[in-house]
């Protein structure tokens, strides 16, 4: 089944015809209900997944790694890996439509389309940077440093980050009481200001412990 919106995805739009149409015709379209597990340690496919609709939560044990939305990719960790276990658990936060492209088709595009190979390597490089930043946040030595590093990496460039305290405490791996103390410390230092769920970054240098 060819899904029109998939053909325009940034990873596929430079794949030449008829290869792109052939790959999309062979791809598997999944409809996933809210709360359903998409991938877990023992149940996964060696496919590259594209989220066409909905949101998916990605967890590593108790740590919230990320939330996937429309256009995001997943599955690369197991695509060309012989490990029998998948490293994270993916759970649908809303009804989702997902396209799964098989390992064989990804390999064919890598072989036959240099533009796809370049775009795929770019995607993997961005994932490495993201996961490296998440590792820095989780391994930071203090709650204030964890919070500061998270805000520096999460800021989309607007100078503010919108996230609930419950989600943020899970993201950086600290309790809510500890998080509120870290908020107070950073506010007193003039690094941030909080207005509900919105955290405004006032001084980026003061977040770099």
**pLDDT tens per residue, range 19-71:** 999 999 999 999 999 999 999 999 999 999 999 999 998 888 767 788 899 99
Together in a domain, 95 and 184: no
Among 103, 135, 167, the domain boundary falls at 135
| Residue 137 pLDDT exceeds 80 | no
Q: How far apart are CA 34 and CA 19, in angstroms?
A: 33
Q: What is the CATH number of the domain that holds 193?
A: 1.10.10.10
What percent of the chain stands above pLDDT 70? Answer: 94
Q: How many CB atoms lie within 10 A of CB 132?
A: 11
Together in a domain, 88 and 146: no
pTM: 0.70
- Judging by beta carbons within 10 Å of its beta carbon (0-12, 13-18, 19+), is residue 127 exposed, middle or buried? middle
Nearest to 36 by CA among 75, 97, 93, 106: 93
Together in a domain, 9 and 100: yes
Half-sphere exposure of 59 (CA within 13 A, CB side): 15
Range of the domain at 63: 4-135
Q: What confidence category does residue 4 fall into, taking pLDDT thresholds of 50, 70 and 90?
A: confident
Together in a domain, 94 and 195: no
Q: What confidence category does residue 140 fall into, taking pLDDT thresholds of 50, 70 and 90?
A: low
| Residue 203 pLDDT exceeds 70 | yes
Together in a domain, 159 and 58: no
Total domain count, the chain: 2
**Residue, of 134 and 68, whose pLDDT is higher:** 68
Nearest to 24 by CA among 32, 33, 13, 35: 13
Together in a domain, 23 and 90: yes
Together in a domain, 114 and 157: no
Tens of pLDDT, residues 154-198: 876 778 899 999 988 888 888 889 899 999 999 999 999 999 899
Together in a domain, 42 and 122: yes
């Amino acid at each position: 089944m060819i899904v029109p919106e998939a053909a325009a995805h940034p990873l596929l739009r430079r794949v030449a015809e008829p290869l792109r149409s052939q790959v999309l015709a062979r791809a598997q379209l999944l409809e996933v209900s809210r709360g359903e597990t998409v991938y877990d340690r023992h149940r996964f496919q060696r496919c590259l997944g594209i989220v066409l609709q909905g949101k998916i939560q990605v967890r590593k044990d108790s740590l919230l790694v990320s939330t996937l939305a429309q256009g995001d990719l997943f599955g690369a960790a197991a695509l060309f890996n012989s490990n029998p276990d998948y490293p994270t658990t993916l759970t649908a936060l809303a009804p989702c439509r997902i396209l799964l492209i098989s390992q064989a088709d990804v390999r064919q595009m890598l072989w036959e389309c240099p533009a796809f190979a370049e775009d795929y390597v770019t995607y993997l490089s961005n994932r490495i940077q993201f996961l490296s930043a998440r590792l820095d946040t989780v391994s930071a030595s203090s709650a204030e440093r964890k919070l500061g590093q998270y805000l520096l990496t999460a800021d989309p460039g607007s100078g503010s980050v919108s996230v609930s305290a419950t989600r943020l405490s899970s993201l950086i791996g600290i309790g809510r009481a500890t998080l509120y103390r870290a908020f107070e410390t950073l506010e007193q230092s003039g690094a941030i200001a909080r207005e509900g769920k919105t955290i405004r970054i006032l001084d980026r240098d003061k977040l770099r412990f």
